[in-house]
């Protein structure tokens, strides 16, 4: 029985899946019923997960996500035909490490995407301006960091986006790039459809690890080994900028990626058509 990983901002679960249709969520409850709305879109909350494969092999996605990825501009991989990766950071709050992360990115001439919530923009305007000025993408991570699958009212759903859009435009004077990371990796067919209707691509990931808990940070050598062992063509790398470990190893990791022949590209250079891998 294969092991699959579910990654989120608030927790890491390893679960064996006797049936793909039965998934343990982050609250340790089991979701088995499929609700529908009038448009016949599923509203069942799903958690993003994938099968880890080491040594440069891209991970397989869950079988049930195939049509979602194909139909709703959802990405967990980029171009798997060449040695490119896409570096992304989630910013739920500022823990004092982002300035150093930006220094490292600048010194290595590497682009990244920062997924931010509305309060982050409001509380850290200088950092947002610096991200933009130095060529990085600042992207939408919602207003209040909810499970987007839990919001079936389209007006309320859209507000989670528009509040961030307004805050960003008031600060930068431009529209926010149309990439969205679902908070906690929670989604439904409905939420992906609503996201696409707003002109966004949903950005999941093919690498993440337990880096978000500031009171339980991974050991540096082990963390670096984990990241490099699981780097693969087309990888969308999710790191949390609150992590002390990530900040301390980032320069070494970037240099190792480059020595391995990887080019780090912005999300704007993702393939036009989402890629899906499943055995």
Give catalytic residues, as residue numbers: 90, 240
16, containing H or E segment: strand 12-16
Contacts of 162 (CB under 8 A, 6+ apart): none
CA of 71: how far to CAs of 3, 38, 194, in Å? 27, 19, 12
Helices (H) and strands (E) in the chain, counts: 8, 15
Give the span between the Cα atoms of 257 and 268, in whole angstroms. Answer: 20
Q: 120 and 158 in contact (C-beta within 8 Å)? A: no
Burial of 5 (0-12, 13-18, 19+ CB in 10 A): middle
User: Residue 170 is encoded by which pair of tokens?
Assistant: 């008031």
Q: 73 and 81 in contact (C-beta within 8 Å)? A: no
Q: 166 and 122 in contact (C-beta within 8 Å)? A: no
- Between strands 137-140 and 113-116, the pairing is parallel
Give the span between the Cα atoms of 7 and 273, in whole angstroms. Answer: 24
Torsion angles phi and psi, residue 26, rounded to 5: -75, -10
């Amino acid at each position: 029985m294969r092991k699959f990983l579910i990654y989120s901002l608030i927790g890491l679960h390893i679960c064996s899946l006797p049936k793909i249709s039965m998934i343990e969520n982050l609250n340790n409850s089991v979701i088995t019923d499929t609700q529908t709305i009038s448009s016949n879109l599923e509203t069942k909350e799903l958690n993003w997960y994938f099968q880890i494969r080491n040594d440069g092999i891209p991970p397989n996605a869950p079988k049930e996500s195939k049509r979602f990825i194909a139909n709703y501009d959802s990405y967990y991989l980029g171009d798997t035909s060449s040695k490119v990766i896409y570096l992304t950071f989630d910013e739920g709050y500022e823990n004092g490490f982002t300035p150093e992360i930006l220094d490292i990115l600048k010194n290595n001439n590497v682009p990244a995407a920062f997924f931010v919530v509305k309060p982050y923009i409001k509380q850290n305007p200088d950092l947002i301006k610096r991200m933009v000025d130095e060529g990085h993408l600042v992207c939408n991570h919602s207003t209040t960091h909810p499970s987007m699958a839990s919001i079936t009212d389209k007006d309320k759903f859209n507000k989670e986006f528009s509040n961030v859009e307004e805050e960003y435009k008031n600060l930068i004077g431009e529209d926010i790039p149309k990439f969205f990371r679902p908070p906690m990796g929670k989604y439904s067919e409905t939420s992906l459809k609503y996201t696409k209707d707003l002109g966004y691509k949903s950005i999941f990931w093919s690498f993440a690890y337990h880096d978000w808990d500031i009171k339980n940070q991974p050991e540096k050598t082990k963390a670096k080994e984990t990241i490099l062992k699981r780097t693969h063509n087309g990888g969308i790398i999710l790191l949390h900028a609150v992590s002390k470990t990530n900040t301390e190893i980032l320069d070494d990791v970037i240099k190792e990626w480059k020595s391995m022949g990887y080019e780090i590209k912005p999300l704007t250079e993702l393939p036009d058509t989402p890629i899906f891998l499943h055995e």
